[in-house]
Structures are given as structure tokens and as C-alpha cells.
């Protein structure tokens, strides 16, 4: 039987633009158009960041489509995995829906707020940030 966790533990699909923001008990993932295409085709998008001199000293984070009915998260061997129900992923990919969130109960004393969004271009360009793969900002042509 195919084991997705075992597969992902040994293989990482690299993306250049998926963002992760961690703040206290919350995590936010932002995906570019390229990330969304990969997520749609491959059912997974991942990125690894080197944290040392050795090739195995990496922090990896992934979003994975699953047949489960609920959003779930795991952190094993420096790999943060967010599992998204395939039905929710399909709806998000195929519509204008910006994102979704879930408050996950980790244990009786801890909850983790998870937010997943399409990454939009900023209204004011940033000097050291390439936003060419991001979604056009819907407010770009407004008078706000």
C-alpha cells in the first residue's frame, strides 16, 4: 500500500515562492500561481530551507492533499506537513476563493490557528521581492 508520509519523507518537491509565516500559535501559508498549479497537478507543494552545512539539515514545509475529511498538521523530522482535504483543495483551486482557515486542537492546552491563502501582489512594490508569480491584487485598480 502506498504511504504518502514515507514517500514525502524521502522526496521533496521544491517550489520557489510558497511563503510561511509563524506567529505564536498560528501559521500562515501563502501560495503563488505557480504553487497553485503544482498543488493542483501534483497534489502536494513543498519547500526546503537549509539550516546548516550538512545536506540533511533542512526545514521543510508542505501542503498535501488528502482523502481525509479534516485539515490536519504534523511536524516530524524537521518537516511541517499540512494535510488538506481534497474536496476543500479542489474548491479553493477552481474558484476565486482567497483562502481558508482552521483552528486545530493540538492538545488540551494548545490550539493552532492555520490560514492558507493565495498570495497577492502588494499594492506598493517592494525593492527586494519578486512578485511576478503572485496573483494580481484585486485592489490594484480601486481608489482605496
pLDDT-derived band at 132, boundaries 50, 70, 90: low
Most confident of 2-6, 29-33, 54-58, 89-93: 89-93
Please report whether residue 130 resides in a domain: no
pLDDT of 75 strictly over 90? yes
Range of the domain at 83: 4-118
Give me 113's grid cell.
490557528
Please report whether residue 45 resides in a domain: yes
Please report whether residue 70 resides in a domain: yes
Q: How many domains does the chain have?
A: 1
Please report whether residue 26 resides in a domain: yes
As a whole number of angstroms, the distance between CA 60 and CA 135 comes to 24
**Hey, what long-range contacts does 87-95 have (CB within 8 A, 24 or more apart)?**
89/39, 89/43, 89/65, 92/116, 93/36, 93/39, 93/40
Residue with cell 503563488: 32
Please report whether residue 110 resides in a domain: yes
The pLDDT score that the predictor gives to residue 130 is 61
Please report whether residue 138 resides in a domain: no
The pLDDT score that the predictor gives to residue 122 is 54
**pLDDT averaged over the chain?**
81
Give the CATH number, domain containing residue 63: 3.30.1360
Please report whether residue 36 resides in a domain: yes
CB-based contact 81:62 (threshold 8 Å):
yes
Give me 39's grid cell.
498543488
As a whole number of angstroms, the distance between CA 36 and CA 17 comes to 11
Amino acid at each position: 500500500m502506498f504511504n504518502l508520509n514515507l514517500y514525502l519523507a524521502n522526496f521533496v518537491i521544491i517550489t520557489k515562492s510558497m511563503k510561511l509565516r509563524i506567529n505564536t500559535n498560528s501559521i500562515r501559508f501563502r501560495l503563488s500561481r505557480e504553487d497553485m498549479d503544482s498543488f493542483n497537478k501534483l497534489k502536494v507543494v513543498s519547500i526546503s530551507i537549509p539550516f546548516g552545512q550538512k545536506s540533511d539539515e533542512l526545514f521543510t514545509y508542505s501542503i498535501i492533499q488528502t482523502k481525509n475529511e479534516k485539515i490536519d498538521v504534523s511536524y516530524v523530522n524537521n518537516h511541517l506537513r499540512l494535510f488538506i482535504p481534497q474536496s476543500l483543495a479542489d474548491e479553493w483551486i477552481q474558484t476565486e476563493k482567497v483562502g481558508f482557515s482552521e483552528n486545530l486542537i493540538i492538545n488540551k492546552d494548545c490550539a493552532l490557528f492555520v490560514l492558507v491563502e493565495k498570495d497577492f501582489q502588494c499594492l506598493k512594490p517592494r525593492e527586494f521581492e519578486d512578485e511576478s508569480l503572485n496573483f494580481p491584487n484585486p485592489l490594484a485598480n480601486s481608489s482605496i
